[in-house]
Structure 1
Amino acid sequence: MIFKQNSKFQIISWSSIATQKDSALLLGNGASMAVDKKFSYTSLLNEFAYKGFFNIEEISLFDYFDTNDFEMILRFLWQSKHVNQALDIFNPKIDSTYKNVKSALIHGVSELHSEYDDVFNDLEPISQFMSKFDTVFSLNYDLIVYWAMMYGNNNPKHSFKDCFKHGVFDYEWQKYKSPIRFQESCTLIFYPHGSLALARSIIFGQEYKIANSTTYSLLDGIQNEWEKDDIIPLFISEGTVEQKVHSIQTTRYLNCVLNEVMPFPRSHWVIYGWGFGDQDAHILKSIKKSGAKRLSISVYRGSDEQEFCGRVYSAIHREFGHFIDIEFFDSYSPKCWNNA
């Protein structure tokens, strides 16, 4: 169903959106910004440079490889450092650059990310909203979904599962779709672009979830884990579609989420806070592979809302053809995301 009124796209309330049993939720950066305006920057690398976390040489390294991917740059530097060590080549600049880039990332994320207490009041409505869906995909690297998932798991009748067992992702993820014990329902959580809570060992190639004894200390635990020599974060914060797809292909978890979990058959997708940018065209292609028949898309109320609807409408029909129902809803609707 395509809602138009007087040649304009109609933007309805969330209460008018009927979710289905197999509905999936996709979260973009607008979801994080709705919780904390700290996430309003468009480029993590540019924000770090603006705040002085990187020097000119370190920024030029990203420019040389034409990337904003911290994981890739750290991996290249670590490999170069250890190749030099193996060949008995002394080059302290590579070692210092590796430490500086990693330190900048640690301190930059620490400064830009919300504290648990600052977002605590949003966790209950977010967990309730996410519980309406069979599956949730978050394109954001931050910990908001992770914290809301842990908060929501206090509900004895519903569970959130990210399919990590003892910190390692279980590639037989479909078996987690069924509720356990006395639970009535469950929601699976996935991160197509990774998360601060995920890391990778360069030496062993192992990808895992960082866990702490309490959610309050999770951000500190992540920073402590990153300080280990061979550990690098597993998240993609920005870049072109080609750069993102290349980075995804280098990690087993991200590749599984994009090419197996997202295309799993489901007819209805709710999309909240996602801008449908060209850099995320691979996400729309994966949604198409799921056999989606209906897309419900949030709209941020503002002067350009009709322009946004028109652009999204065109992008969807270019990818899907005309065999898709589209509806737009107000992102500030009651009971939607973190709205009371």
Structure 2
Amino acid sequence: MELENFFDLLQALEKKNDRLIHLLVGNGFSMAYDSTIFSYNALHSFIESIDDPDLQKILSVVETKNFELIMQQLDNLASLVTAFDGTAELKQQIEHASKKLKSSLLNAVNSLHPEHVFKVSDEAVESCAKFLNHFLGKGGYVFSTNYDLLLYWVLMRSSTISHNDGFGREALNYEKGMTSDEIDWSDLYWGKHKDNQNIFYVHGALPFFDAGSQVVKEEYSHSAYLLENISSRMDGGEYPIFVTAGNGEQKLAHIRHNQYLTFCYDKLSTITGTLVTFGFMFGKYDHHIIDAINKAAKQGMNAHPKLLSVYIGVYSDGDKKHIESIQHLFKVKVRIFDAKSVNIWGK
């Protein structure tokens, strides 16, 4: 495969007027903004600095900074303890350590984050919005597997992007003749606008909390920035909808236990046209995403509409070789492009 320039392939795709073009972003989207904040190295260093015996013990033994792999190893260890009739106390200790690592990872993402939306420059927002509009502006969808707020912030700040994440409010006391100032509005709950949704956080995100029968989105208040409100919820024992640990099957099981995540995953499984990926490398624990792509490719059998192709952005020769090695797993045409040719954040 030859590396293509992103804008060359986009121009060719846009000539196909009957084809929708969608976007899937992964951690590389955030790392392109600031790799010192959003890399596994940064998260590992943060967790390593936490004064906790269990976490220190785990990090001193494992030889990886890939938290998905670490948590998978802990799950496997718990299963082995059960299989060999180990003590319930030992299994409980391992499971407790796994939960602690997950919560620490979430706290790390939260704490390393830029303080608030206005820390992202106008130039960066404008550049990212221009990139997103290649998809959203022409009827496509944007899917994200990231937990952070960067995409959310860009959507909030830009006046040029027509977006809908499915959340909305209900009037709690509406009576005919009331002005908007007289109406008491509910929190932002998911579902009100899902029929027109075009933004999908497949693995959840920091602002989304499971409120039992509903999914609520945290927001800015007059007294605090969004990240402060999220931190306040977390300090109170609430945690965002956040899929991180396990292999592809375990991630999918987590997704299926939440109505919002299920909706996002099913939408990915039914897209048509072309999917462009940026910063998502289809790693060892991402087979559930490949499965969703293949489901989209199978719909409609030999006729339209169905997913016809996936264009995958790569940064290095190693990335390129990895995609070439797993190309056979996809039931659609796979092409690769040079991710460095995109310059999402205008740097």
Partners of 2:224 and 2:311 lie apart in 1 by: 34
- Percent of residue pairs identical: 27
Counterpart position of 1:318:
329
Q: Aligned match of 1:225 in 203, 225, 233?
A: 233
Residue 29 to residue 205, structure 1, CA distance change in 2 (3 Å): same
Q: Deviations over 1:182-229 (max 9, x none)?
A: xxxxxx11100000111123xx35321111147981111211122224
Partners of 2:324 and 2:228 lie apart in 1 by: 42
CA RMSD of aligned residues (A): 3.5
Counterpart position of 2:120:
119
Counterpart position of 1:251:
258
Deviation of 1:46 (Å): 4.1
Partners of 1:234 and 1:170 lie apart in 2 by: 16
Deviation of 1:269 (Å): 0.5
Query: TM-score, normalized by length of structure 1?
Result: 0.71
Counterpart position of 2:27:
29
Query: TM-score, normalized by length of structure 2?
Result: 0.69
Kept in 2, the 8 Å contact 1:270–1:295? The answer is yes
Q: Which has the higher contact order (CA 8 A, sep 6+)?
A: 1
Specify every segment of 5 or more residues in structure 2 that has no aligned partner in the other structure, as ranges: 63-68, 76-96, 170-187, 298-306
Partners of 2:322 and 2:102 lie apart in 1 by: 38
SS of aligned partner of 1:114:
coil
Deviation of 1:109 (Å): 3.3
Deviation of 1:268 (Å): 0.2
Residue 110 to residue 254, structure 1, CA distance change in 2 (3 Å): closer
Kept in 1, the 8 Å contact 2:47–2:105? The answer is no
SS of aligned partner of 1:127:
helix
Query: 2:313 is matched by which residue type in structure 1?
Result: S
Deviation of 1:275 (Å): 1.3
Partners of 1:67 and 1:250 lie apart in 2 by: 23
Q: Aligned match of 2:216 in 183, 204, 208?
A: 208
Comparing 191-200 with 290-299, greater Cα deviation is found at 290-299
SS of aligned partner of 2:321:
helix
Counterpart position of 2:313:
298
Kept in 2, the 8 Å contact 1:38–1:112? The answer is no
* Equivalent residues in 2 for 1:235-250, closer than 5 Å: 235-250=242-257
Residue 296 to residue 49, structure 1, CA distance change in 2 (3 Å): same
Q: Deviations over 1:165-197 (max 9, x none)?
A: 122111772x316xxxxxxxxxx1110000011
1:162 aligns with 2:173: no
Specify every segment of 5 or more residues in structure 1 that has no aligned partner in the other structure, as ranges: 73-96, 178-187
Query: 1:296 is matched by which residue type in structure 2?
Result: Y
